[in-house]
Structure 1
């Protein structure tokens, strides 16, 4: 018996996640560190995760959806290239997903899926124009314009981390110089925190560096404790984010920017600096547009791709089961 439950899968560079989702609510979930042995190894991981959250006797879900980093051609369902995951170039992800689970399958860029989740069930509900930005290992996102989820040619729209923020600067994961992602992603924030620790071994971050690798979260923890160097790092991160967000306001004229991803856990610390930079850099009509944290937090992509998979079920014939 088919139900309104969908399997939602999230392919990340460090973690894979699986969930059962019904109407925007995560019913069960499981996660594991990503197997870097390639697509077939990861597909085995997903089968095991789903088996753990949907044991024998569970009513079969009606669809399966996976969100993944890109570039990902969601029209053909084929991975173009994932900089953080070797061996996936040219992999027919949607076909393998459908064959693995015997269900209609949808594959979507992780940022676009999260944007859809926040638009339909999160902070952007009832809006007609929305930009979602996930700030984590990289920067991705998705855009809603005129009440429609923007996909672009080959479903590759919404790569909001890859416009040039400065002509000179760090090299991005995509290979270009000066991308928004290269300046403001969590990895860039972490690099600046490690550099600060190296400059002053006796500092808060320097003492952490003596026992473990300094990451962005250590700078956030230090800022919450009032450490001046950490507060300066948070202010710098907020300025980069605010400059990037101002450009996105000009490009898409949204009613709201929603910020998700791991760095958004420090939103309360970052928001004043983000707002100050937007007020400095944005043209007057855009300065009052609110920036809000994602309401669904880490579940935005899972909720979004589940909703997209269920919507596709109505127009996609169900494939035969393996036993038929």
Structure 2
């Protein structure tokens, strides 16, 4: 079996690498060189096929992104996946949206499939690395990246180093408690940051508002189909008072969670990514208002900014981390 190497985030990132992203609804691949995506491809995740079916998808996606340039120039491969993952051992602990993956040695299988050094990384940490190296975190020594989408995840850079922690599981920023009660989180606890402030939670509050007020904007939208997070955003952009109130509540909850992260990690900047970040213009003022109100004095002026790389940050991040394994020089 191909020997596994440990990634060194401070190493150079020259050469080409493949970045993969494993999600519950979509799998993606990108061919990357010098922080630029040369080609990318995606497919709907073969959930029913389990690990073997999905690995076959990754081989097919690799063929697609390398069809113009060939595979010979690829020096390493990296996989970004939700967790929890034991990235030190390269093993999937549990992915709630993907049954049958518990205990799967994903890093070794990736290395075997492509005959290249391989790295497995939590999707939040991979995205944090991408934004640090190529996006809104360039030049910083301390940052927190938070993705706010179906759930809340992220990654942390402290003292110019990517934080991994025991088993590589550091940076589960959605799973600290910000309320003594409230909705049950996907992790099973009550009152987590994710349970209260993820896009899913915003969507549920919007759906409840539609039920309470069937004559309002959201109530009218509900007659055409299920209410989702985007309806609250669209209504707020159109000036609907109910939707504006929902977005103000979301901004306040994000501000509460971000204040906790400021106190925990003392970053120079918090970078917000994920689907909800596309409404950052509606959230910006409320997030910073809560931070100014609740943060200790030295933390009040730390900015929260939107991510720059969109959904490419994880692919770029994990491809770059994979290159750092093979000792390239800048």
- State the TM bucket, normalised to the shorter chain: over 0.9
Report what 2:59 is aligned to.
47
Shift of 1:191: 0.8
Report what 2:273 is aligned to.
260
Shift of 1:56: 6.8
- Structure 1 position 77 matched with structure 2 position 90: yes
Runs of 5+ unmatched residues, structure 1: 316-324
Whole-Å Cα distance in 2 between the matches of residues 177 and 291 of structure 1? 26
2:316 aligned counterpart, secondary structure: helix
Which of the residues 237, 243, 261 maps onto 1:230? 243
Q: Is the 8 A contact 1:242 1:275 kept in 2?
A: yes
- 1:172-214 deviation line (CA, Å, top 9, x unaligned): 1111111100001111111111111111222221222112221
Shift of 1:59: 4.4
Report what 1:116 is aligned to.
129
Runs of 5+ unmatched residues, structure 2: 1-13
Report what 2:3 is aligned to.
none
Report what 1:154 is aligned to.
167
Whole-Å Cα distance in 2 between the matches of residues 59 and 166 of structure 1? 50
Report what 1:31 is aligned to.
42
TM-score of the two chains, using structure 2 as the length reference: 0.92
- 1:86-136 deviation line (CA, Å, top 9, x unaligned): 211101010111111221110100010111111111111111111110111
Shift of 1:35: 1.9
Whole-Å Cα distance in 2 between the matches of residues 40 and 211 of structure 1? 39
2:116 aligned counterpart, secondary structure: coil
Does 210-219 or 298-307 show the bigger shift?
210-219
Whole-Å Cα distance in 1 between the matches of residues 233 and 43 of structure 2? 25
Report what 1:318 is aligned to.
none
Q: How big is the alpha-carbon RMSD for the aligned residues of Structure 1 and Structure 2? A: 1.3
Higher relative contact order, chain-length normalized (CA < 8 Å, sep 6+)? 2
Q: Is the 8 A contact 1:83 1:174 kept in 2?
A: no
- Structure 1 position 65 matched with structure 2 position 106: no
Whole-Å Cα distance in 1 between the matches of residues 234 and 226 of structure 2? 14
1:132 aligned counterpart, secondary structure: strand
2:319 aligned counterpart, secondary structure: helix
- Structure 1 position 15 matched with structure 2 position 23: no
Which of the residues 102, 126, 139 maps onto 1:89? 102
1:264 aligned counterpart, secondary structure: helix
Whole-Å Cα distance in 2 between the matches of residues 136 and 210 of structure 1? 25
